[in-house]
Structure 1
Amino acid sequence: MADTSPRTIQLSAWQRKVAGLVQSVDELNTLVLAGGRGGGKSILLIWLIGYFALISGESLNAVLIRRDLAGLSKLEDLLFQQIPTLMPGSKYFKAKRQWKLSNDGTLRLIHMDAGDAFNKIQGEDLSHIFWDELGQEADPQVVLRARSSMRTTDPTVVPKFIATANPLGPGSWWIRDYLVTKAMPNRIFTCEFFGAQPAVWIKSTLRDNPYLSNPDQYEKELRASCFGDESKIAAEVLGEWGQVTAGFFGSCLSIERSMLPRDFQIPWYPDKTGSFTEKTKAHWCWIGGDWGTASPACVVLMCQIQEPMMVGERHIARGSWVCVDEEYVCSIQPDGSKEWNRGDRSLTAPQFVERVKKLYMRNGFTDWVIPHRRVIMDSAVTAQLGFGGHSDPVTLSTEFKKYGWQVTGSPKSSRAVGWQLMKSLLWQAGSDEPGLFISERCESLWATLPYCISDDRNPEDMEKAAPDHSADAVRYVLTAANQGQHSYRQSQRSGAHPLMWGKEEKPRRYSGGVRTFKPMPIR
């Protein structure tokens, strides 16, 4: 029979160090235990709950939140082992998931599902919020709303927010951007994101947990579960937050293979008279876009390479795609940092069109020269929002058109197929096969792609709550080009745009010799 008798937690050296920091710095508002798996973070969280329950007395009104019910049940069992030992006489009301402590303090366990945690605590004065696996929350707004209830009438109690987090969760992008990159680990700093409060994040790995019976075997199991993805191993085993090849795109995404310098320019191609014009430059360009105000709005300028070329040490094969530039509209933090998964609610259609126009102009286009059939946005822009008459339906695309910018809705296609195409191109970057390259100017792609993760229910698709707005814009273009429905019509092929998919062109002579243009099919 299993031993169910209460046991006092024995802290490891790492856990004692963190506990000492919490005990010595009373004004500390936020503590995030952010590291790899198996480091003892959840056990330390349970110890801290007991510690604050003892010192806060009747002023303790705390909640313990976790998104998944199975994880919350495990924490519930751990509390059953600790609280009766620390505070005999405490009672647990299982139906309410609430502890009534012997010193009149209160602790509730909340299963946070579908963003409803705030509804369960709204209007209450919370002295402490304990959050296990903070990285499961893809939207930080949920966390901020819960924190808005942190207040107490006891001047001797400082409200605390204490959480655990692992890299690579749905919310790892905002934990990294708002916390991890703002200060070194173990160093207290003023966190603007959490209301300019004193905060600290602390890293741990499985090697900080001496109570693992066989740490070497556990590490082998962790590495095996990563399927050889070195960046995922670095995140889960070593607790690293800075790996750019982790997440949904795995080892397909590589700075060494795919990143192009900021000064990359769209190649010029001639028309059949040998002239280089703005229209021929735009002929192989596409625009992918994703509209939003609650979520970010963005457009990505892309071009397809028609002749092999070298950029630095990178070989770009014919037929490759390059994300040249972008316009990304999102919220801005007080320190000027971009909030990659939160939109700008003040954004309007004319403002967005004006920003897109600036994107065109800084890349050498003085007009809306890229044909609207190759300006691909989320199909929601063509959804009818109201009735303005048969010839003038009320849609976002017609709203954009009022200000001179015409767009086309993205084609119907499986998301998973589009992502697989994008993965293949990223993997082929730098080889003799067509690849996908991304300029340094596309900051949102480099900032968000590493933090897009697989959907647990459909691993072939991306988690829809991930910061996928720029990735969606690229996918729309690749999907449209792959379907071949957005090329120029037959009536245009004898007109002003001679370089199109069709017959092989005759050799043309240039000062550098004779070259043959063999038009590439859209891949």
Structure 2
Amino acid sequence: MNIEPTPYQKRVLAYRGHVQQIWQLGGRGGAKSWGMVFDILMTANDLGPHYRGLVVRESLGGLQQIADITYMIATAAFGTGVTRNLSDGTIKLPNGAVIVFAQLSDPSSYARHQGTSIAQLAADEVTNMSLASWKLFNRLKSNLRVPAETNYQPSIHATGNPGGPLHNILRKQYAAKGYWRPWVDEFDDIIVVCNSTYLDNPTIDQQVYRRRLESSVSDEFTRKGWIEGTFDSPAGGLFDDVWEPSIHVIRQVPYLHRPALIVGSDFGQSAPCCALLVARTREPTGPYERGTIFVVDERHTCIDADDLNLGSNGTIDEWAALVSDMLTANGVNIGTEIIQDDQRGLHGETVISVMNDLGLNATRPDKKDRVGGWAQIRNLLKASKTGEGPGIYIHERCKYLIATLPELQRGRLKIDDCDPDAPDHAADALRMALRELMGIPSPVGRTIGGY
């Protein structure tokens, strides 16, 4: 059996020992998983009994396949002394190195690794992980430790194709840094991102495989990513095909004559709060049609730009003060209606009751149709791009909404809703505001506040 790495795999493996993290993010069919297995076995051979590697994947079938590949290459390289225990998912090399294969899908699957030390953490098809599994994968980094006498720095090796729930996260955190150029993250890890395409795999019929790729997916962004091996285009989100920042994000909201105004508010404690001041025009305004939506301002309590689900743990009183400040800063009547989901605080009081006690005008949403709300946002975003009807425009100061709305991941089980672990707080605030605001007639009718 020929186990010689391909030229692409050799280029990836040349970074071994020079970087702490290798991310193979590229197109389908480039033999990325085989490259990762070569790294695992070479590192296991180097460290011997000091090596314990953990290979994770969310799907059980995919995990079994990568374990089969590893065992096949290991036996070809190291002979019959390689042993495999299917019941506990381990492969042991003759030198004492151990490779563990584990499904990573929920907290219980993570718990079995608590307290164990690993020299290398590997993840196959990481872009297909759910947000929940991604959080568990990151938590596993705390298990990376080896004896000092090995003079080895624990490493991470991951593979992934464009598309999937984590596409946008990996595009922003890794692929956007560039390919084949090592860089240093905030924790002083040296990281390299290696991309590839099916053309880097000489073991397949490349022309036939390209035709398979072209016929297997209707989404043009995913098709391009799979064939060209890039993460340049967004994917995996509810609004990928309708979001265009050069159109939807504006530097200045035009003067609006007596628009309908409303605040959408989503309260959280460990999760962020977000409130959006949203306007709907009652008459044509410059190039904008009657009924156009403007997101004028926002307040939020997210405290970590790298974890958009992390809130400040503030109180309802503190949140009410922030919402009140937003209204005052924009010269908007303090009695402007606030659509607020009515959770309860730590002491059993409701968010709405506390807001109203503090002089605000908070009410429950009339409808809680999440899927219908996402469809409404999509229609407005699309209208802004096509010019077919009134659309939606977001002031550039609304940074939390702009950071989260375009990358709101689709759910795995319910694809017309977002992933339950996605940072949907600003999107929920917008959805609730629009469901109420779009019911107000645009040419005439009540004015909510005054802007």
Same topology, TM > 0.5: yes
Q: Is the 8 A contact 2:409 2:418 kept in 1?
A: yes
Shift of 1:149: 0.9
Shift in CA distance, 358/185, structure 1 to aligned 2, threshold 3 Å: farther
Decide which of 287, 291, 294 is 1:319's aligned counterpart: 291
Contact residue 382 and residue 409 of structure 1 kept, 8 A: no
Match of 1:166 among 158, 161, 186: 161
Other-structure match for 1:445: 401
What is the CA–CA distance in structure 1 between the aligned matches of 2:220 and 2:329, rounded to whole Å? 38
Instruction: Please give the per-residue CA displacement for 1:15-58, whole angstroms capped at 9, x wherever unaligned.
Output: 111111215x1xx2222112232222212111111111111111
Deviation of the 1:426 alpha carbon: 1.6
Change (3 A) 1:260 1:95: closer
Percent identity over the alignment is 24
Question: Over residues 63-98 of structure 1, what are the superposed CA-to-partner deviations in whole Å (9 max), with x where a residue is unaligned?
Answer: 101111121121122122111112221211101111
SS at match of 2:298: strand
Equivalent of 2:423 in 447, 467, 473 = 467
| Matches of 1:172 and 1:403, distance apart in 2 | 42
Structure 2 unmatched ranges of 5 or more: none
Instruction: Give me the TM-score of the superposition, normalised by structure 1.
Output: 0.77
Match of 1:501 in 2: 445
**1:386–1:78: structure 2 CA closer, same or farther, 3 Å change rule?**
same
Equivalences for 1:255-404 in 2 at 5 Å? 255-256=245-246, 258-265=247-254, 267-269=256-258, 284-310=260-286, 315-332=287-304, 338-365=305-332, 367-371=333-337, 375-377=338-340, 379=341, 381-383=342-344, 394-404=349-359
Residue 10 (structure 1) aligns with: 4
CA shift for structure 1 position 265: 4.1
Q: Quickly say closer, same or farther: Cα 1:223–1:18, change in 2 above 3 A.
A: same
Aligned with 2:404: secondary structure?
helix
Match for residue 434 of structure 1?
390
Structure 1 residues 159 and 432: alpha-carbon distance in aligned structure 2, compared to 1, 3 A threshold = closer
TM-aligned CA deviation for residue 292 of structure 1? 2.1
- Larger mean CA deviation between 242-251 and 82-91 belongs to 242-251
- Contact preservation (8 Å) 2:31, 2:201: yes
Superposed displacement of residue 8, structure 1: 4.3
The answer to whether the 8 A contact 1:170-1:451 is kept is no
Amino acid at match of 1:298: C
Amino acid at match of 2:334: W
Question: Does structure 2 conserve the Cα–Cα contact (< 8 Å) formed by 1:340 and 1:448?
Answer: no
Q: Which amino acid aligns with 2:61?
A: A
Distance 1:357 1:9, change over 3 A: farther
Aligned length: 442
Higher relative contact order (CA 8 A, sep 6+): 2
Is the aligned partner of 1:94 residue 2:103?
A: no
Could you tell me how far apart the structure 2 residues matched to 1:180 and 1:104 are?
36
Q: Does 1:45 align with 2:36?
A: yes
1:274 maps to which residue?
none
Runs of 4 or more consecutive aligned structure 1 residues displaced over 6 Å after TM superposition: none
CA displacement, residues 351-398 of structure 1 (integer Å, 9 cap, x when unaligned) = 333333333233233x52412xxx223x3x3458766xxxxxx21223
User: Does structure 1 retain, via aligned residues, the 8 Å contact 2:278–2:294?
Assistant: yes
Runs of 5+ in structure 1 lacking a partner?
Answer: 1-6, 270-282, 333-337, 388-393, 489-497, 503-518
Residue 237 of structure 2 corresponds to which residue in structure 1?
Answer: 247
Q: Residues 448 and 121 from structure 1, CA distance in 2 versus in 1: closer, same or farther, beyond 3 angstroms?
A: same
Equivalent of residue 235 in structure 1, options 225, 238, 248: 225
1:141 matched to 2:113? The reply is: no
| Map of 1:152 onto structure 2 | 146
| Contact 1:454–1:462 under 8 Å retained in 2 | yes
What per-residue deviation string (whole Å, max 9, x for no partner) do you get for residues 203-252 of structure 1?
A: 223333333313x443344344442x443334333333343576322322
Q: Give the TM-score of the pair, scaled to structure 2.
A: 0.88
